[in-house]
Amino acid sequence: MRLFRAGDGSKWNRWCLRYAAAVCLLVSPVRADDACPPSCICARDSGTVTCRDGGDTEVPGDIPEWTTTLILKGRNISTLQRGAFAGNGTELEMTTLSLSHNEIQVIEPHAFLGLSRLHSLDLSHNRLKSVSAGAFHGLLELRSLYLNHTVLPPAATQLTNALDTRSLRNLRRLELAGNRLQSIPLVRLEIYDLHTLVLINNSIVSVDSENVTNLYQQRRVRVYLSLNPFRCTCELEAFYFWLKNSSQCPDAGHLLCSEPEAKRGLPVEGLRGDDVDCMNENLEAVSYVFLGIVLALIGVVFLMVLYLNRGGIKRWLNNLREACRDQMEVYHYRYEQDSDPRLANVAV
Ligand SMILES: *[C@@H]1O[C@H](CO)[C@@H](O)[C@H](O)[C@H]1NC(C)=O
Ligand SMILES: *[C@@H]1O[C@H](CO)[C@@H](O)[C@H](O)[C@H]1NC(C)=O
Ligand SMILES: *[C@@H]1O[C@H](CO)[C@@H](O)[C@H](O)[C@H]1NC(C)=O
Ligand SMILES: *[C@@H]1O[C@H](CO)[C@@H](O)[C@H](O)[C@H]1NC(C)=O
Ligand SMILES: *[C@@H]1O[C@H](CO)[C@@H](O)[C@H](O)[C@H]1NC(C)=O
Ligand SMILES: *[C@@H]1O[C@H](CO)[C@@H](O)[C@H](O)[C@H]1NC(C)=O
């Protein structure tokens, strides 16, 4: 490298050296303090690190300390391991973590170790098959948790356990759209500070009265429930009155019945009280049972009559048989009388 050889007397070369040194001075502080992880873009002003579409199957290990927002997208991270973001065990400043579209399948216990300042966590559009009960431990400041289109059926029960942690006591917004959930995956509502619960586009057929009672008790929570296949029978009664009474469901007007066939497509709110009245439905069931019993009784009485008259019936049957036999004998006799002359003719 002729350019950088010391002792070269030429003016031009000295200028070049100085220029190179200046560039080095400008660049080096950033690089020396905290390097930007490979295939990421670092914006120190906003504290944002964005990593997209790397072939990586791991979370970048060297996230700068100043990071407040980390966005990972389009990676193939199949397992979020314990302390995936913790580096060497120090608490991070990070407040926003977006992990959507990363093919995450497994979340191990304490995966978010060191993120006690995190406010927002987005795990949408992954393919969660397994979520440890301790997955969300330590997220003491978490306000918003997004889990849209991400939970596969085998992980639904595990998710209920994972969410049932006092670590999430500051959780205000929980989004669970498009997960084929069959019930509200929260055991106790009172442990959170929940204001918004989004359950749009799931497989919730009914909300039982225990859940409804709990929702009434958490007056500030708003629950979004459109695009669920409600079964509009009397089991929906408590829920129906909650919809009408509580104004806790902002999209109540969009909830539709999917069963029974006769009510498919009808708005749940548009049903009449009678449609979901269990007394009504029970009465109907009772009347069918009653009809059945009456028919059975009639049958039994009929059989009894037959049985009690068995003597008379026997006599009648005997008479019938005898009458038949007499008739047959008459026929027989006539046949013999007719056939004899014919036989004689043939013989002749
Ligand atoms: C993601 O990684 C797993 C192994 O960790 C591999 O089996 C799978 O094919 C990868 N998927 C894609 C889309 O690269
Ligand atoms: C590890 O922790 C120490 C302080 O305990 C810190 O100075 C250092 O930067 C950390 N290293 C990484 C890679 O996070
Ligand atoms: C799902 O999560 C995203 C965040 O990734 C959010 O912006 C969106 O509004 C959520 N809701 C639905 C219904 O998709
Ligand atoms: C509902 O969720 C399913 C996945 O569970 C998705 O394929 C579908 O597009 C969603 N529908 C709407 C209207 O968002
Ligand atoms: C909702 O109902 C399910 C199933 O009956 C139950 O396990 C769960 O604890 C209930 N949750 C609330 C908040 O009532
Ligand atoms: C509120 O719910 C109760 C049953 O819990 C019902 O009797 C009453 O009619 C409801 N009120 C309204 C305005 O729907």
Domains, the chain, in order of start with CATH, read 33-202 (3.80.10.10), 204-276 (3.80.10.10)
Question: How would you classify the pairing of strands 96-98 and 69-73?
Answer: parallel
Question: How far, in Å, CA of 315 to CA of 325, rounded?
Answer: 15
Atom of ligand 6 nearest to the CA of 273: 9
> Which two structure tokens, joined as six digits, stand for 228?
């669920």
Question: How far, in Å, CA of 135 to CA of 99, rounded?
Answer: 14
Please tell me the chain's helix, strand, coil percentages from 3-state DSSP, rounded to the nearest 5.
40, 15, 45
In 3D space, the residue among 222, 172, 170 whose CA is nearest the CA of residue 199 turns out to be 222
Q: Which residues are paired to 72 by β-bridges?
A: 51
In 3D space, the residue among 109, 24, 125 whose CA is nearest the CA of residue 75 turns out to be 125
Best residue for ligand 6 mutational test, from 212, 217, 237, 241 (most atoms within 8 Å of Cβ): 241
The model carries a pTM of: 0.74
Angle 209-217/237-246 helices, nearest 10 degrees? 20
Ligand 5 mean position, distance from CA 211 (Å): 5
Atom of ligand 6 nearest to the CA of 238: 5
What are the two backbone dihedrals, phi and then psi, of residue 299, each rounded to the nearest 5 degrees?
A: -60, -45
Does the C-beta of 245 come closer than 6 Å to ligand 6? yes
Task: Provide the residue-wise pLDDT of the chain in tens; the chain has 348 residues.
Answer: 444 444 444 555 565 445 554 444 444 444 445 688 888 999 999 999 999 876 677 788 888 889 999 999 988 889 999 988 887 677 888 999 999 999 999 999 999 998 999 999 999 999 999 999 999 999 999 999 999 999 999 999 999 999 999 899 999 999 999 999 999 999 999 999 999 999 999 999 999 999 999 999 999 999 999 999 999 998 899 999 999 988 899 999 999 999 888 899 999 988 887 877 877 666 667 777 778 887 888 888 878 888 888 878 788 888 888 887 888 787 676 766 666 555 555 554
Ligand 6 mean position, distance from CA 83 (Å): 49
Question: How would you classify the pairing of strands 48-52 and 40-43?
Answer: antiparallel
The DSSP code for 200 is: -
> Which two structure tokens, joined as six digits, stand for 167?
């670590």
Does the C-beta of 216 come closer than 6 Å to ligand 6? no
Ligand 1 mean position, distance from CA 60 (Å): 17
Question: How far, in Å, CA of 113 to CA of 307, rounded?
Answer: 82
Does the C-beta of 172 come closer than 6 Å to ligand 6? no
Give CA angle at 87 (40, 136), nearest 5°.
Answer: 95
